[in-house]
Structures are given as structure tokens and as C-alpha cells.
Structure 1
Amino acid sequence: MSDTNLDQLVEPSPKPARAKRGLEIRRTPEFVAGGLPTVSLLPRELKAAARSRSIQRAFAAGVVVAVILAGGATAGAMAIASAAQSRLDASNAASQQLLSQLSRFQDVQMLQQSIRLGEAAVMVGSSTEIDWQAQIDAVEALMPSGWTVTSIQGDSASPVLDYSQGTSPLDVPSVASVQMAITTSDISSVGPWLRKLRGIPAYGDATASVISDDTTGYTIQLTLHLTPKALVNAGKAAK
């Protein structure tokens, strides 16, 4: 016996496949579209009432929200008004305190006012005051030796009356004038002396007339017009 036959004897031959009988049925999942139809049996009046209640509930909710918002706005406005009133009260209290403190110094304020009025009166009263001594000293310092002053007169403005000015356009504005009578035995130096008088700070203009006298020699009548520099308060007025 050959090897092939031995193998066939040892290993059984495979069984033939069985033929399937009948039809093959495949199961697929069922799908129903739409479900079961439903029908509302409620009357139309009940449906309308239900919708009306829904609308009423929505309206009531809106009213509640509006009331809440209005209440919040009112509370905020009241808070702002209260804060403003508090600030106003504090300001009024501070003003009252300041007025109370100022009333304590009323006497001092009245004294200060009196002092200011007095100073103003002094300024007005001295606004036309002339430093006569300084002007006379300046004239005498320029006189030649041997001259003697026999009389002096002054004329000036007052706080209520201006000093009369000259009518010539060439006249220098003046605030006062001084008249001096001077005796001398020699009048040859009158001209040079008049020119020297121009160096006086308050010099406006000067005129002199000579009168002959057999007893004393000559009498010189000097009229010297003074500018505002002759005022006592000339320095303060310049400032």
C-alpha cells in the first residue's frame, strides 16, 4: 500500500457543506415616522382662556419688573438728594461758624477801617502841603553875600481849591509860589543869581523887580513859582 493511501486512511475526509434550505430572512430595525396621531378634545373657549392666563402672567411679570426698576431709581434719586442736602447742611454750618468767628473781630475791623479812613484823610490833607523850608533854604543858599531877606510870603493850593495857573501857554504848571523881599547894596549880580535859581529841583519860573531906596540901597522883589516837586508827598506821589 502506498503512502498516499495511508494518509487517506488516517485522516478522515472533510464533510461536505450542507445546503441551506428555504429562504434566508434578514431582520432590520423597525422605524415608525410621526408616531401616533393625537387629537385635542378641549373646547376652543378653554384654549383661549389658557392663552389669556399666559398673557396675564407675562404682563404681571413685566409690571413687577417695572415696579422694581422704578423703586430702584427712586431709591437712588433719594440717596443722591440726601447726600446733596448733607453737603448743603455742612456748608451752611461752616458759613455760620465763619460768621461767628468774624463777629469776634468786629471791633478790630472797625478800628482798621478807622485807621484807613484817617490815613486817607491825611493823604488828602497833605496832598497840597508844600515843603516851604526846603524851598527857602535852596533860594538863600544861592544868594550872594551881603544880601538880606526881609520878608517871605507863600501861596499854594488847598485840598478843595487848585492853585491858579498862568494864562500864557509857555507858563510851567505850578502848585505854589514864594515871594521874597531881599535888600542889597549891589544889584549887579541879580541876573546871574536868577539863572542859578533854575537849579532848584522845584523851580518853575522866577521873576525879580528892583526898587531903589536911598536908605538901604536896593530892594529885590522875587517871585518864584514851584512845581509839584515842592510837595511834601512828592516822593510818595511819584511811586
Structure 2
Amino acid sequence: MSTPKPRALVIGGEPRVDLLPPEVRASQRGRSTRRMLTYAVIAVAVVTATVVGGASFVAAQAQTDLISAQAETGSILAQQKRFIEVKKVQDDVAVVQAGQQVGASTEIQWTDYLEKVQGTLPSGVAIQSVTIESSTPLAVFAQSTVPLQGPRVATITFEVTSPVLPQLPAWLAALAALPGFADATPDAVTLDRTTNQYTAKITMHVNSSAFDDRFAGKGK
């Protein structure tokens, strides 16, 4: 068995003797713990107050923005009420313009058109009567069932007199230069022995190029 070594003797060392009772040391440690807990509670309270304050600020800002938007909306509605009569007049004008476009969509200025027809007459040929049948906005004009005949929107039937028969083919050729001309054919040709005048009935068809379109583009 080994003999324990004797402890070294420290000469001149600082004496260290704890004369405080254990209860005092425990009280000191308790105060330190309570102090740390107090600091923690204070820190949590500060963070909570900051978060609540930030949320309150955001909510207050949102409420301010809402009130501002509501005020702006009320102002816009008030301005709209002031111009409601103007809007009604504009709507009425738009309806009238639409009615004009529909009502005049099949309109042909027949006075001007017949003057152009008159200008194509050869010398000695005179128009005795004119009959016009044209389309309307409410009814589709009857189309030909004969092959190779184009679409038409009106039919003009002329009764003309001519001193010589060859004048009629020349006039039919001149009619082809009119706007909206579709086709023209002689229906019957007779000779009056008393006057030596030929009487012919000419049927001329007119297409949509003859429309006046005087209200086209209005209201756009």
C-alpha cells in the first residue's frame, strides 16, 4: 500500500474563508434570478408594445386611406350627377344617328340619278315614263333567278321613244357607265306607224354602289 503524499504548505498565500451563512448566498442567487426575469419581462413588454404600436399605425393609415378613397368616390359620383343630363342627351343623339344610318342605308337620290340617266340619252330618244322599285331597310329586294345576273337593290323601268331603232343599243351601252349599273335589257319594241316612232320598254337594274350613304360614318 502506498502512503498518501502530504499536501504542500503554501506560505504567504491569501487566506480564503467564507463566513457568510448559506442562506445569504441563496438569497443573493435568488435576487440575481429575479433580476434576470424582470429584465426578460420588460424586454417582452417592450417588443409587444412595439408590435402593437406598429399594427395600430398600419391600421390607422389604412383607415385614413379608406376615408380618402371614400371621399374621392363621393366627389366623382357628385360630378357624374351633374353631367347625367349631358350623358342622356348624348345617348339620345347616338340613337337618332343610328336611326338615320339604318333608315338611309338603302337611300338613292333618284332625282340626281335620273338626271344622270337623262344625260346618257342619244339624240332623238325621249323618256316617256319611269317606274322605280327599290329596296327598303325592312325588306330584302328580290334577286334574279337568272344565272350570271348580279345582285341588285332597285329596278328602273323606262318607256322611251326613238325615231330610229339603232339608237336603243347605243343608249343601253351608255347606261353601263352610270354608278350602280347592274344590267339593262329591252323588254319590248314597237313601231307606231302614225308617228314613225319606236316605243321601247327598258328594264335597268341598279346595285348597291348607287346608295347615297349620306349618314355613313356619323356617330363614330
TM-score tier after normalising by the smaller chain length: 0.7 to 0.9
Partner of 1:175: 153
Secondary structure of residue in 1 paired with 2:51: helix
Secondary structure of residue in 2 paired with 1:89: helix
| Structure 2 alignment gaps of length 5 or more | 1-10
Partner of 2:204: 224
Q: What are the equivalent positions in structure 2 for 1:113-124 lying under 5 Å apart?
A: 113-124=91-102
Identical pairs, percent:
30
Cα distance, 1:131–1:33 mapped onto 2, change above 3 Å:
farther
Secondary structure of residue in 2 paired with 1:37: coil
Q: Quick one: which of 143, 163, 188 aligns to 1:210?
A: 188
After TM superposition, the score normalised by the length of structure 2 is 0.82
Say if 2:14 is the partner of 1:35.
Answer: yes
Letter matched to residue 198 of structure 2: Y
Per-residue CA distance 1:186-211 (angstroms, 9 max, x = gap): 11122222122111121111112232
Q: CA RMSD in A?
A: 2.6
Per-residue CA distance 1:37-64 (angstroms, 9 max, x = gap): 2235433x65455434423321221121
Cα distance, 1:39–1:157 mapped onto 2, change above 3 Å:
same
Cα distance, 1:159–1:40 mapped onto 2, change above 3 Å:
farther
Report if aligned partners of 1:228, 1:234 keep a CA contact under 8 Å in 2.
no
Q: What are the equivalent positions in structure 2 for 1:10-89 lying under 5 Å apart?
A: 35-39=14-18, 41-43=20-22, 47-89=25-67
Shift of residue 121, structure 1, vs aligned partner: 0.7
Partner of 1:20: none
Secondary structure of residue in 2 paired with 1:160: coil
Secondary structure of residue in 2 paired with 1:161: coil
Larger RCO of the pair (alpha carbons < 8 Å, separation 6+):
2
Partner of 2:118: 140
Letter matched to residue 105 of structure 1: F
Partner of 1:149: 127
Shift of residue 127, structure 1, vs aligned partner: 0.7
Letter matched to residue 141 of structure 1: G
Letter matched to residue 181 of structure 1: E
Rg larger in structure? 1
The whole-number CA distance in structure 2 between the counterparts of 1:59 and 1:49 is 15
Per-residue CA distance 1:110-136 (angstroms, 9 max, x = gap): 222111111111111001111212221
Number of residues paired by the alignment? 207
Partner of 1:95: 73
